[in-house]
């Protein structure tokens, strides 16, 4: 079995639909205090699939972000990576090989590596984890997950993270469908609200840095309303400034919906290869009857389709219809556009220094 990593400049990465594995994401995160490192990963296929020919090889680019906890220790974070998705029974084996292979190439004071896996959750394909109404109830306790994922590994060292970073549940829309089919797949109320917004004279257009303050006012309104952690305006400025503006890179579009010049709703749409991603959204707490957010989302979907994307990622929702979940309202809104709910594996850690990792975990629990 072969697992080899060679350093690679992130600006030389091949284009990918997985936004957090792009040079754009590395640049944005560098501005937020991470140290990006790029690698070209080459593995033998038998690490991915049990019955594969061991002479077969697969390669991909891998973005790793180094985050310093203090001046003496750091950890490595792999956002939605690795991109290659092994069979369920080989997931732990692959991650173990990768963690052990990459450790010598990381800072000497790196205490663990965290894989934020975009792979389909193993327990989201098993009937026993769905209720009578067809809602996914979520994976089993962490100890049960760890027992299965560590199957086939040598060190049994993979641990489920206390929390997840990037969205673990999302809705995907198939943009290969026609606009008529996409409208037809929407729930009746959602389709009605899209058309109502048009009748009310809601207009959606793309804006640049000159309207970032307008975006930020809507964002502050939304963040305060939903008790979200508030980012400063520079956070969003960084997103606009670091785009590639090309089909091979990443294009960011700040879309805003207004009526008679008054901005009611806004969003950041990010286009990467064949995927459009609804990254951030904001709206005023006033005039909800105008349904501006529905017109905005529909325009974003159409724009992604016309750009050549094959899928649209709603980028975050509740895992099911449980009304007590903090994202229940978001889930209902996004579900209305007719996408398919997808559940990811989330964050998994491979400690290099178990004692220091345990201390870091205790700090995470307190946050």
Mean pLDDT of 233-239: 95
Query: How many residues are given for the chain?
Result: 367
Cα distance between residue 150 and residue 166, in whole Å:
22
Please give the residue that has the higher pLDDT: either 321 or 267. Answer: 267
Which 8-state DSSP code applies to residue 284?
A: -
- SS3 of residue 86 by DSSP: coil
User: E strands within the chain?
Assistant: 3-7, 35-44, 57-70, 73-79, 110-120, 159-160, 169-174, 203-207, 250-259, 262-272, 275-283, 311-313, 340-351
Q: Per-residue pLDDT tens for 118-172?
A: 999 999 999 999 998 889 999 999 999 999 999 989 999 999 999 899 999 999 9
- Dihedral over Cα of 85, 87, 88, 93: its sign: negative
Farthest CA pair distance, the chain: 64
Q: For residue 322, what pLDDT band results from cuts at 50, 70 and 90?
A: confident
Give the pLDDT of residue 287: 67
User: Does position 179 have pLDDT exceeding 90, yes or no?
Assistant: yes
**Across the strands, what pairs with 35?**
66
Q: For residue 286, what pLDDT band results from cuts at 50, 70 and 90?
A: confident
Distances (CA, A) of 12 to 7, 16, 61: 11, 12, 9
Instruction: Give the rounded distance of the alpha carbon of 44 from its chain centre.
Output: 27
Residue 59 CB partners (closer than 8 Å, separation 6+):
40, 41, 42, 43
Q: For residue 227, what pLDDT band results from cuts at 50, 70 and 90?
A: confident
DSSP string over 152-208: T-SS---EE-SS-SS-SEEEEEETTS-HHHHHHHS-HHHHHHHHHHHHTT-EEEEE-
Do the strands 159-160 and 110-120 form a parallel or antiparallel pair, or are they unpaired? unpaired
User: Does position 248 have pLDDT exceeding 80, yes or no?
Assistant: no
- Mean pLDDT of the residues in the chain: 94
Torsion of CA 355, 360, 362, 365, to 10 degrees: -150
Give the pLDDT of residue 234: 94
Instruction: Enumerate domains of the chain plus CATH numbers.
Output: 3-164+345-366 (3.40.630.30), 176-309 (3.40.630.30)
């Amino acid at each position: 079995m072969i697992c080899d990593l060679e350093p690679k400049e992130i600006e030389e990465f091949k284009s990918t639909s997985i936004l957090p594995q792009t040079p754009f994401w590395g640049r944005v995160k560098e501005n937020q205090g991470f140290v990006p490192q790029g690698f070209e990963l080459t593995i033998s296929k038998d690490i991915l699939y049990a019955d594969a020919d061991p002479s077969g090889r697969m390669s991909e680019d891998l973005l790793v972000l180094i985050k310093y906890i203090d001046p003496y220790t750091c950890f490595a974070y792999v956002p939605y990576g690795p991109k290659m998705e092994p069979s369920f029974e080989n997931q732990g084996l692959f991650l173990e090989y990768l963690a052990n292979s990459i450790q010598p190439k990381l800072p000497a004071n790196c205490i663990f590596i965290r894989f934020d896996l975009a792979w389909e959750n193993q327990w989201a394909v098993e009937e026993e984890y769905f209720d009578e109404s067809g809602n996914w109830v979520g994976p089993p306790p962490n100890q049960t997950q760890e027992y299965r994922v560590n199957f086939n590994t040598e060190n049994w060292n993979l641990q489920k993270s206390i929390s997840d970073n990037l969205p673990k549940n999302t809705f995907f829309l198939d943009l290969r469908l026609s606009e008529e089919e996409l409208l037809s797949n929407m729930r009746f109320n959602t389709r009605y609200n899209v058309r109502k917004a048009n009748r009310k004279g809601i207009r959606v257009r793309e804006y640049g840095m000159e309207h970032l303050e307008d975006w930020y006012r809507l964002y502050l309104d939304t963040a305060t309303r939903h008790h979200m952690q508030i980012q400063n305006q520079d956070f969003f400025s960084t997103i606009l400034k670091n785009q590639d503006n090309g089909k091979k890179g990443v294009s960011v579009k700040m879309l805003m919906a207004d009526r008679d010049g008054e901005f009611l709703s806004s969003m950041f749409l990010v286009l990467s290869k064949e995927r459009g991603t609804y990254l951030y959204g904001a709206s005023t707490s006033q005039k909800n009857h105008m349904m501006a957010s529905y017109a905005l989302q529909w325009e974003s979907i159409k724009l992604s389709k016309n750009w050549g994307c094959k899928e649209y990622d709603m980028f975050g929702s509740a895992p099911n219809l449980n009304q007590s979940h903090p994202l229940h309202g978001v889930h209902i809104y996004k579900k209305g556009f007719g996408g398919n709910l997808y559940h990811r594996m989330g964050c998994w850690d491979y400690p290099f220094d178990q004692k220091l990792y345990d201390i870091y975990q205790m700090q995470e629990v307190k946050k």
